[in-house]
Amino acid sequence: MIDVMLILLGVAGVWGIGMALAYFLFHKISTSTEKTFEFAELLGLGIVFGFGGTAIFYLLWGIIGLSFSLFLAWVWMGVGIAAGAGTLFLLSRNRKQKDNKPSPSSASDREFRSLCLGVLFFLAVTTVIQTLMTPQRFWDERAIFGLKSIVIFEDGTILSESLHDPDFVQYHPKYPLLIPLNEVHFYLLLGEVNDRWSKVLFPLLYLGMVLTFLGVLLRSTSQKILAWMFALMLATVPSMVPWEYGFLSGQADGPVACFHTVALLYLWSFLRAMNNPISNRSSSKNSLVIAGLSAALAIFTKDEGIAFFLIELIALGIVTLVYFRSQLSSMAGSIFKFALTVAIVVAPWFYHRNQLPATTEMTYFSRMSTTTLAGGSAAFFWAIQHLFHRMFLEAWRWGLQWWVLSFSILAFPSRARKPSQLFLLLNLLGALSALILAGIISPTPVQEHIGGSSSRFLIQISGIAVLFVAGQWISEQD
């Protein structure tokens, strides 16, 4: 029972820190009377930034050579709870002060929204319970992340001698530390290692992703009911939940899906605003910082995050050249702002990463040569066929998102050419190309490399597919 209380308090602290950070970001641009964020968005980003902020805090604390202790975890938790309570107080005070007109929705719309809220609550609770019903038991969650979190907890530092010994770490010693450091926070609060309780962060990131998605859609459209429907669609992608390698496990694919989806959600929101002359441009600029923070957290979770970030930059560049040539300097500034945010947040991690040993790293960039690529045609065709099979012919198992995405393009081909939608499509194509390229150049046979990981990789981009679908069906006047 004490464990449950500590975990609940720990979660409240993490959530509070994140909400305070998100509120600070929103508040900077909320001088106008226009509504700049939704409550669901604040709650969702609270979770996303809460876990991200906790890991970054522990990383910086560790880099400067200070040790992790029970006291530190309690202080962080206390500060988080106070910051969260303060944020909620400020929020309620500001809402009272502002002239909040009642929303023009009908009674039946409100009843439907309460039904959706009930379903979302049910899904969140069952996901948390299902996650906590199993300890960490898969390869990656123990070999890559869990092992490091226990060592850091026991040694009280990320500078542990063991983590610098390749014969101890063995598997991906250079892998990012967002998951291990959050697990360490819970181990410190509990005073012991319990690899079941530490899994609580995964279903919460699922909830954070869904709430942020809902909030941004609610803010972006007047079609509130459709926003709720698409948020519920995101919450029920089977490969995310309840597939056991999704958000129910301690693998990194769920968290990467969360951070990557949130990053693209804000870039999508930014591009929609850029394409809409009457929208609030100042709030859209803020989207870039939030997108940058989230993209940085994806990099700090798993190395795929680096590829996703590069793809985002390329896609932004293409969209700028195609649609915003007249605003080239302004768009270049925006892209720079996004990239700079990412660079600032991940810089400490890359500084630390340079000191870690390298074994079992696939070193994709150095493997990229014309000979490797030329010799990979068989792997290329195998990968294409395999991905098609997994995305479309096994839809009953992984979800309908790829079918629905295809139907949505066919239903509204002109909407798919809008900057925000094209940007998402470019990201999806880029991610799939990167996976295939990785399969061709990796030292492991493609059948094992992509065959064994494609379903997990597709989790990471399924949120983008649902966002694209939402963008297609939400009508043009928005």
Partner 1 sequence: MSFPIRIILILLSIVSVPCFLFVWLMPVEFFQSWMVERASPDRYSRYSAYEQAWVLWAILRILLPAIAVFSVLGLIFCNRLSRFLENCWRTVSAWTSIDREGKRDSKRTILFRFILWGWLCLGLFHLSGGLLRRIEDWPWYHFDSGPAVLPNISESNRDVIRFLEETTDKNARILVVSDQKLFFLSYYLLPRRLFHPMHPGSEFVIPQKNQQRQLLAYRLSDLDAEYISRISPDYILEYFEGIDFIEKKRFREDRRWLQFLRRRYGDDFQPTYNVRLRKYHPSMATRFQAKPESAVKP
Closest CA to 195 of 131, 241, 253: 131
Rounded CA gap, 466 and 169, in Å?
Answer: 37
**Which SS3 state, helix, strand or coil, does residue 444 take?**
coil
Is residue 51 within 8 A of residue 12, CB to CB? The reply is: no
Using CB under 8 A, which of 24, 89, 350, 407 touches partner 1? 407
DSSP state, 167?
H
Using CB under 8 A, which of 9, 72, 79, 400 touches partner 1? 400
In the complex with partner 1, which residue's Cβ is closer, 36 or 472? 472
Closest CA to 242 of 198, 301, 294, 202: 202
Using CB under 8 A, which of 9, 88, 362, 409 touches partner 1? 362
How many CB atoms sit inside 10 A of residue 274's CB? 23
Q: Which stretch binds partner 1 (CB under 8 A): 139-147, 202-210, 286-294, 324-332?
A: 139-147
**Contacting partner 1 within 169-188 (CB under 8 A):** 170-171
Q: Which stretch binds partner 1 (CB under 8 A): 20-28, 204-212, 370-378, 406-414?
A: 406-414
Q: Which stretch binds partner 1 (CB under 8 A): 8-16, 127-135, 268-276, 344-352?
A: 127-135
**Contacting partner 1 within 224-283 (CB under 8 A):** 225-226, 229, 233, 236, 238, 241-244, 248
Which secondary-structure segment (H or E) carries 116?
Answer: helix 107-132
In the complex with partner 1, which residue's Cβ is closer, 219 or 367? 367
Supply the minimum distance, in Å, between the C-beta of residue 190 and partner 1: 10
358 binds partner 1 (CB under 8 A): no
455 binds partner 1 (CB under 8 A): no
Q: Which stretch binds partner 1 (CB under 8 A): 73-81, 143-151, 383-391, 455-463?
A: 143-151
Handedness of CA 235, 239, 242, 247 (dihedral sign): negative
Q: Which stretch binds partner 1 (CB under 8 A): 16-24, 138-146, 178-186, 369-377?
A: 138-146
150 binds partner 1 (CB under 8 A): yes
Report residue 301: phi and psi, to 5°: -100, -45
**DSSP track, 391-408:** IIITHHHH-SHHHHHHHH
372 binds partner 1 (CB under 8 A): no
Exposure of 237 in the CB half-sphere (CA atoms within 13 A): 32
Supply the minimum distance, in Å, between the C-beta of residue 477 and partner 1: 11
Rounded CA gap, 437 and 51, in Å?
Answer: 31
- Give how many residues touch partner 1 by CB under 8 A: 63
In the complex with partner 1, which residue's Cβ is closer, 335 or 405? 405
Residue appearing with tokens 């609610």: 218
193 binds partner 1 (CB under 8 A): yes
Paired tokens of 476: 């043009």
Exposure of 16 in the CB half-sphere (CA atoms within 13 A): 22
Q: Which stretch binds partner 1 (CB under 8 A): 10-18, 85-93, 427-435, 441-449?
A: 441-449
**Which SS3 state, helix, strand or coil, does residue 106 take?**
coil
**Contacting partner 1 within 87-106 (CB under 8 A):** 106
Using CB under 8 A, which of 100, 126, 222, 327 touches partner 1? 126
Rounded CA gap, 315 and 234, in Å?
Answer: 23
65 phi-psi bin (left φ>0, alpha ψ -120 to 50, beta other): left
Q: Which stretch binds partner 1 (CB under 8 A): 259-267, 281-289, 348-356, 403-411?
A: 403-411
Supply the minimum distance, in Å, between the C-beta of residue 467 and partner 1: 15
Q: Which stretch binds partner 1 (CB under 8 A): 20-28, 134-142, 265-273, 374-382?
A: 134-142
Using CB under 8 A, which of 328, 344, 368, 411 touches partner 1? 411
Rounded CA gap, 445 and 439, in Å?
Answer: 8
In the complex with partner 1, which residue's Cβ is closer, 65 or 443? 443
Binding string, 43-62, against partner 1, x = CB under 8 A? Answer: --------------------
Closest CA to 174 of 341, 363, 450, 345: 363
Using CB under 8 A, which of 55, 404, 422, 458 touches partner 1? 404
**DSSP track, 155-203:** HTSTT-TGGG-HHHH-S-TTS--HHHHHHHHHHHHHTS--TTGGGGHHH
364 binds partner 1 (CB under 8 A): no
Rounded CA gap, 232 and 225, in Å?
Answer: 11
Is residue 446 within 8 A of residue 230, CB to CB? The reply is: no
Rounded CA gap, 194 and 187, in Å?
Answer: 7
Residue appearing with tokens 């290692």: 193
Residue numbers at the binding site for partner 1 (CB under 8 A): 106-109, 111-112, 115, 126, 130, 132-139, 142-143, 146-147, 150-151, 154, 162, 165, 167-168, 170-171, 193-197, 223, 225-226, 229, 233, 236, 238, 241-244, 248, 359-360, 362, 396, 399-400, 404, 407, 411-412, 442-444, 448, 452, 473
